[in-house]
Structure 1
Amino acid sequence: TRRLGRKLTMLIAGIFFIIGVVLNAAAQDLAMLIIGRILLGCGVGFANQAVPLFLSEIAPTRIRGGLNILFQLNVTIGILFANLVNYGTAKIKGGWGWRLSLGLAGIPAVLLTLGSLLVADTPNSLIERGHLEEGKSVLRKIRGTDKIEPEYLELVEASRVAKEVKHPFRNLLMRKNRPQLVIAMALQIFQQFTGINAIMFYAPVLFDTLGFGSDASLYSAVITGAVNVISTIVSIYSVDKVGRRLLLLEAGIQMFFSQFVIAIILGIKVKDHSNNLSNGYAILVVVMVCTFVSAFAWSWGPLGWLIPSETFPLETRSAGQSVTVCVNLIFTFVIAQAFLSMLCHFKYGIFLFFSGWVFIMSFFVLFLLPETKNIPIEEMTDRVWKKHWFWKRFMDGETGIATNGALKNGHTNGFDPASQL
């Protein structure tokens, strides 16, 4: 993403997706299916790396949160469509429905590939790679005004600092970059430990209990999918008005309450070899599932991707985002592999397990996550990290040394030798 730019990274993701889809839909044996899946996984990695960065860098500061969450909105719409396609193709007689299901993934793959050819790269990326005039032209175009000089100079200064960093991953471990790294990694771990996968896995079983029978998975997909999409839209409208912290804290209360209620009802009413869940209780559990999904969809779902993409400085942004994606996918894998065993051992207690994690992560947000709404992406260090009650201790003098006390908007960047002495 750093060397090739955001645009080319998205194009590579699209090509991975297309080749993976072709191999999967035309698979003659298990090996072809596995290779196709691996290529799709590469596509996911490249896309998750480039798209949030691309959106955060082109967005005007006042709507950066909402624009970035469009990424998560389209993920939720994709999940809903995929579930509906799978339900439809499973009904096809003749045993070829799975080929159609896997082949239809080619539509979004082609759209991503064509889209990445049509868009311009971000000004941040162009300037970082030395294309100053092109970067200035793109900045003028996406801001819709000629008055872009202050922002342009800020990007050039950020780029100059970025060029001094030869080893971004090593730089990421430096003391001054520790707050962003800790926040980004913690958000990805916590996102998986909200228990969203537990809820989504358990939903079809609950709908089956309600008496939907063979259509339980369809109703589950449609209802939870629709709640997911609508709640993500709520996040788009509210994230730049009420801020990131308030959404996360409110959702923490909502998710803790709904999981606690689900655990109590299942613990009292459902035993190992019987199904005593009456219609009334089953409906209450489904309402609680929807309450949980809505809270996740306007908080930890989209903000887990938004906040890391806007907090890293330009010199470590690509490396930071790649660590973010990597940690997210590792913990997605861990939870997916461990979930069934945990469900068998914990039973209803699995919801208490995840609600405990929600309690912990809400305290993390309350004390350690700074607010980033309406703050220009290249001013995060000065206006967010240096003023936070805890993280400012990691910033003392570090930024000034790293940038040789360079002027930024007419001021030194926070390193004042007199005050240090």
Structure 2
Amino acid sequence: MVSIEVLGDKEKPMSLNKYAAACALIASTISIIFGYDTGVMSGALPLIQEELKINDTQQEIVAGILNLCALVGSLLAGRTSDYIGRRYTIVLASSLFFIGSIVMGFSPSYAVLMIGRCIAGVGVGFALMIAPVYTAEISAANTRGLLSSLPEVGIAIGILFGYLSNYSLAKLPLNLSWRVMLGIAAIPSCVLAFGILKMPESPRWLIMQGRIGDAKRVLIMVSNTKEEAEIRLTDMKLASGIADSVEDDVIKMVKQTHGEGVYKELIIHPTPTVLWMLIATIGIHFFEHATGIEAVILYSHKIFKKAGIHDKSKLRLATVGVGVTKATFVVIATLILDKVGRRRLVLISVTGMIVALACLGSFLTYISHLEESPLWALVCSIVSTYTYVAFFNIGLAPVSWVYSSEIFPSRLRAQGHSIGVAVNRLMNAAVSMSFLTISNAITIGGTFFMFCGISVLALIFFYFFLPETRGKTLEEMEDVFRRKKK
């Protein structure tokens, strides 16, 4: 895979750095664990309901509480990663996942299960904030889209693994099946916590601490040439207010270096450029889940049951198809993101989602007026669901995480991205905790028409508020938003 990076006035071919790719892959492992937890809950919920005798409201709470706790975790993670570094924040996230998975795996009651979900939820917040930021900060400009979308690929792979786990482990005795499904995530969490310590720290975080020598050594490892490393180091130093002539390995920074006062710069007294970045970040994360993806991921078994599939084994198999579709199209998006561009890809994605949601709402509404679903309507409902998942994952899903992790200046990046993640988790929780209630009130078909209308609003927002960032270095982002280029 070859891309182009501008070095001075010349353009040189630049291949993907293998070490940077390896670091991004390891960091993305934490997203696989989160994705697994999301996917496996789809199949675990009916089993939990059967054993613990919980109602629809309690199901919604179990499904959504993880995301409410993730909201808290994401807000804490921004400042934490500025203070202890990106790498140790990933270790902390892995540890929280491990504890939460163990508690859920041994849950004797609904209350204990909720405690485990809350602990894991805080870990989710940390993971979703730090993995894209770390990856963006070690990546070169023209491969950043590819590497920064790997966490979303990890989520898709994890969801698929969760669905496959549902399909295979559901045959275990009832009191073991869902507990094994939830508890098994502790194994990769433990492995990741140790593996991440072999990775280097983010060079941009090191620069903010005045550790220029350490940052230079990391940049040499994640760059293809020493010349490229020097250019990247110079850009980072200038962006942090350090003169290029400074050659010391360690210097004392004049400005605060552990994230102090960042929220004031982001929220209370932002510049017009930072305000636009914040609006774009909040908007893209709001619409990622307000358009309904969590309803499909978490409650696909109920959607397919409404469409006419009643056999439990066939329901699980149809759900696996959602996971396969998600993983396939996220991988495709990862490969084309740096070529097509963030803005174009997300506009194509949301347009396709609007059409698919309109079709799904129509077919489900038609089926709801019949005593038995005709085969053609069932097939069209399944195809519409898969089409929606495909369009969502080829654009909006990866772009949301890549975009908000790359647009803020280094000093504001972690905490700015954490605000986006908090909004993301809030909307995720809102959809997962209200879908059953809303669908009971306005029918399941009506609910997808609602998501279709929200997607239209999303398309308008993205058209006016998301400038293109493809091929720009992190240090050039302020110019992109200042000039209002599309």
How has the CA–CA distance of structure 1 residues 336 and 94 changed in structure 2, closer, same or farther, with 3 Å as cutoff? closer
What pairs with 1:245-394 in structure 2 (closer than 5 Å)? 245-271=343-369, 274-347=370-443, 348-382=445-479, 384-388=480-484
The C-alpha deviation readout for 1:247-276, integer Å capped at 9, x for no partner, is 1111122111111112222223422xx434
| C-alpha distance in 1 between matches for 2:111 and 2:447 | 35
The 1:143/1:354 distance shift into structure 2, 3 A limit, reads: same
Q: Which of residues 92, 109, 124 in structure 2 aligns to 1:12? A: 92
Q: Give the alignment's Cα RMSD to 1 decimal.
A: 2.0
2:262 aligns to what? 168
Query: Retained in 1: the 8 A contact 2:309–2:315?
Result: no
1:106-145 aligned at under 5 Å gives the runs: 106-145=186-225
Partner Cα distance (1:184, 1:246) in 2: 17
* Pairing 1:192–2:289 present: yes
Q: Which amino acid aligns with 1:192?
A: H
Structure 2: which amino acid aligns with 1:258? A
Partner of 1:83: 163
Q: Does the alignment pair 1:54 with 2:164?
A: no
Distance 1:327 1:222 in 2: 28
Match of 1:401 in 2: none
Per the normalisation by structure 1, the TM-score is: 0.87
Check 1:292–1:28 CA distance in 2 against 1; reply closer, same or farther (3 A cut).
closer
- The DSSP-based 3-state class of the residue aligned with 1:3 is helix
Is the contact between residue 102 and residue 183 of structure 2 (CA under 8 Å) also seen in structure 1?
yes
- Larger deviation, residues 194-203 vs 289-298: 194-203
Counterpart Cα distance in 2 of 1:354 and 1:344: 15
Q: Which runs of 5+ in 1 are unaligned?
A: 391-421
Deviates more, 1:304-313 or 1:12-21: 12-21
After superposition, what is the alpha-carbon deviation per residue over 1:369-420, rounded to whole angstroms, capped at 9, x for unaligned? Answer: 10000000111112x1121169xxxxxxxxxxxxxxxxxxxxxxxxxxxxxx
Equivalent position amino acid for 2:324 in 1: A
Read off the aligned partner of 1:86 and give its amino acid letter.
Answer: N
Query: What is the deviation of 1:116?
Result: 1.4
Identity, in percent, stands at 28
CA contact (8 A) 1:244 1:303 kept: yes
What is the CA deviation profile of residues 168-192 of structure 1, one whole-angstrom value per residue up to 9, with x for unaligned ones? 0101121331011101111111011
Q: In structure 2, which of residues 219, 230, 236 is the aligned counterpart of residue 149 of structure 1? A: 230
Separation in 2, partners of 1:262, 1:32: 37
The amino acid across from 1:370 in the alignment is P
Q: Which runs of 4+ in 1 moved over 6 A?
A: none
Please name the residue that 2:331 is paired with. Answer: 233
| Counterpart pick for 1:44 among 99, 104, 124 | 124
Q: Report the counterpart of residue 105 of structure 1 in structure 2.
A: 185
Return the alpha-carbon distance in structure 1 between the equivalents of residues 430 and 210 of structure 2: 40
- The CA distance in 2 between the partners of 1:167 and 1:9, in whole Å, is 20
* Alpha-carbon separation, structure 2, partners of 1:199 and 1:333: 14
- Per the TM alignment, residue 290 of structure 1 is displaced from its structure 2 partner at its CA by 0.9
Q: 1:122/1:96 Cα in 2 relative to 1: closer, same or farther (>3 Å)?
A: same
Counting matched residue pairs gives 387
**8 Å CA contact 1:255, 1:355 repeated in 2:** yes
Q: Deviations over 1:300-320 (max 9, x none)?
A: 111111100000111111110
Question: Residues 94, 31 of structure 1: CA spacing in aligned structure 2 closer, same or farther, 3 A cutoff?
Answer: closer
Secondary structure in 1 aligned to 2:241?
helix
- What's the offset of the Cα at 1:285? 1.4
What letter is aligned with 1:360? Answer: L
- 2:266–2:278 contact (8 Å) kept in structure 1: yes
Unaligned runs of 5+ in 2: 1-80, 243-252
Residue 51 of structure 2 is matched in structure 1 by none
Q: 1:163 to 1:230 in 2, by over 3 A?
A: farther
d(CA) in 1 for partners of 2:184 and 2:331? 25
8 A contact 1:181–1:320 mirrored in 2 = yes
Alignment-derived partner of residue 27 in structure 1: 107
